């Protein structure tokens, strides 16, 4: 069925979605994966030059997204603090820890991936694994991620996200306002504390980002910055 699907729609999605993680254990997966990448290289003018690196990153990306849908279902049905949610998050953290170790090995051997070498989806997978790591290791990737933003490999929003995540992991106020947290009393998301409300929009503008109030409105969070 997968081979029929990629004939009808030659897309990289089969290599990125967590629903197909069980299929990766099948002995026929490598043949399917190689065939799809070959088809994608023909269709999109050879985006996967380092095929081995691309395949490894796409696999990490699929595992990175695993269980987010299930966690969302449990949250809506039982609440974020339920025992079921806690069990899923423990499993998720184990996966993230394994992903992070594998990413470190790949980056040490190959360097931080570029779109021109592994394709946009695989390059983004590396970023997602880094920002979702639970050991605070994002900090060491900040310089290269900033460099990739300067090279237009990543949008500046991604740099702001991981910069704030580093501060969040150290229990420090965030700079760019990209992170929220769940309030048990109001049963809703709220803005994580800011380093400086009077400067946040100035800092965001330096990266080409919209005002924080506009950004937070997407999440139904109201924000009125203090004046200097």
pLDDT in tens, 107-156: 999 999 999 999 999 999 999 999 998 767 899 999 999 999 999 999 99
Q: Spell out where the chain has E strands.
A: 180-183, 188-191
Say which residues have a Cβ less than 8 Å from residue 31's Cβ, sequence separation at least 6.
none
Is the same domain home to 101 and 202?
no
Whether residue 173 contacts residue 193, with contact meaning beta carbons closer than 8 Å, is answered with yes
Residue 36 falls within a domain, yes or no?
A: yes
pLDDT at position 60 is: 98
Does residue 155 lie within any of the structural domains? no
The verdict on residue 151 lying in a domain is no
- Does one domain contain both 193 and 105? no
Residue 84 and residue 7 share a domain: yes
Using CA atoms, how far apart are residues 217 and 213, in angstroms rounded to an integer?
A: 6
CA–CA distance, 50 with 133 (Å, rounded to integer): 24
Q: Are residues 31 and 107 in the same domain?
A: yes
Same domain, 116 and 180: no
Residue with tokens 């995540």: 165
Structure tokens at 167: 């501060």
Mean pLDDT computed over 205-212? 98
Provide the pLDDT confidence category of residue 188 given band limits of 50, 70 and 90: confident
Other Cβ atoms less than 10 A from the Cβ of 94: the count is 11
Cα distance between residue 104 and residue 107, in whole Å = 5
- 138 lies in a domain? no
Q: Are residues 101 and 27 in the same domain?
A: yes
Give φ, ψ of 196 to 5 degrees: -160, 105
How many structural domains comprise the chain?
A: 2
Q: Are residues 8 and 88 in the same domain?
A: yes
Q: Are residues 98 and 206 in the same domain?
A: no
Domain hosting residue 206, numbered range: 173-228
8 Å CB contact between 144 and 127: no
Whether 177 and 116 map to the same domain: the answer is no
- 174: Cβ–Cβ under 8 A, 6 or more apart, which residues? 164, 167, 168, 192, 193, 194, 195
Structure tokens at 59: 């696999």
């Amino acid at each position: 069925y997968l081979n029929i699907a990629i004939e009808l729609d030659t897309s990289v999605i089969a290599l990125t979605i967590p629903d197909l993680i069980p299929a990766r254990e099948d002995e026929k997966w490598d043949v399917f994966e190689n065939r799809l990448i070959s088809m994608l290289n023909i269709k999109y003018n050879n985006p996967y030059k380092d095929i081995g690196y691309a395949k490894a990153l796409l696999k990490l990306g699929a595992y990175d997204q695993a269980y987010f849908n299930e966690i969302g279902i449990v949250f809506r049905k039982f609440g974020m603090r339920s025992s079921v949610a806690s069990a899923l998050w423990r499993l998720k953290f184990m996966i993230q820890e394994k992903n992070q170790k594998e990413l470190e090995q790949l980056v040490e051997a190959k360097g931080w991936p570029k779109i021109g070498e592994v394709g946009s989806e695989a390059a983004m997978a590396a970023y997602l694994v880094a920002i979702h790591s639970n050991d605070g290791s994002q900090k060491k990737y900040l310089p290269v991620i900033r460099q990739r933003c300067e090279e237009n490999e990543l949008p500046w929003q991604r740099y702001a996200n991981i910069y704030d995540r580093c501060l969040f992991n150290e229990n420090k106020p965030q700079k760019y306002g990209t992170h929220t947290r769940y309030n048990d009393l109001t049963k809703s998301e709220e803005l994580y504390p800011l380093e400086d409300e009077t400067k946040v929009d100035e800092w965001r503008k330096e990266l080409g980002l919209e005002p924080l109030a506009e950004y937070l409105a997407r999440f139904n969070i109201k924000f009125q910055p203090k004046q200097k």
